[in-house]
Amino acid sequence: MKKKLMAIMLSGAMAVSMAAGYAAPVLAAEEATEEDKAAADNVAALIDAIYVQARTEETDAQCAAAKEAWDALTDAQKELVEGEFADPDYFGRDTGDASADNPRNGDEIGENELLVVSFGTSFNDSRAQDIGGIEAALEAAYPEWSVRRAFTAQIIINHVEARDGEYIDNMDQALQRAVNNGVKNLVVQPTHLMQGAEYDELCAAIDAYAGQFENVKVAKPLLGDVGEDASVTNSDKEAVAKAVAAQAAADAGYPGINEAAADGVAFVFMGHGTAHSAAVTYDQMQSQMEALGYANAFIGTVEGEPEDTECSAVIEKIKNAGYTSVVLRPLMVVAGDHANNDMAGDDAESWKSMFEASGAFENVTCQISGLGRIADVQAVYVAHTAEAMNASSTAEAPAAEAPAPAAEAPAPAAEAPAPAAEAPAPAEEAPAPAPVEEAPAPAPAPADTAAPAGEVIGQNVIQNCDGTQTVEVILDTGEVVE
Give residue 17's identity as a one-letter amino acid code. S
Rounded-to-integer distance, Cα 122 and Cα 158, Å: 9
Active site includes 272?
yes
Give yes or no for a contact between 295 and 261, defined as CB atoms under 8 angstroms apart: yes
Q: DSSP for 437-479?
A: PPPPPPPPPPTTSPPPSS-EEEEEEEE-TTS-EEEEEEETTS-
By the 10 Å C-beta count (0-12 exposed, 13-18 middle, 19+ buried), 225 is classed as middle
Rounded-to-integer distance, Cα 452 and Cα 480, Å: 10
**Number of C-beta neighbours around residue 410 at 10 A:** 11
Strand partners, 118: 151
Give yes or no for a contact between 469 and 463, defined as CB atoms under 8 angstroms apart: yes
Q: For residue 35, how far is the Cα from the chain centroid?
A: 41
Q: Would you call 57 helix, strand, or coil by DSSP?
A: coil
The single residue of 159, 192, 272, 338 carrying the catalytic annotation is 272
Strands of 469-475's sheet in order across:
146-151, 112-118, 185-190, 215-218, 456-463, 469-475, 480-481
Catalytic annotation, residues = 272
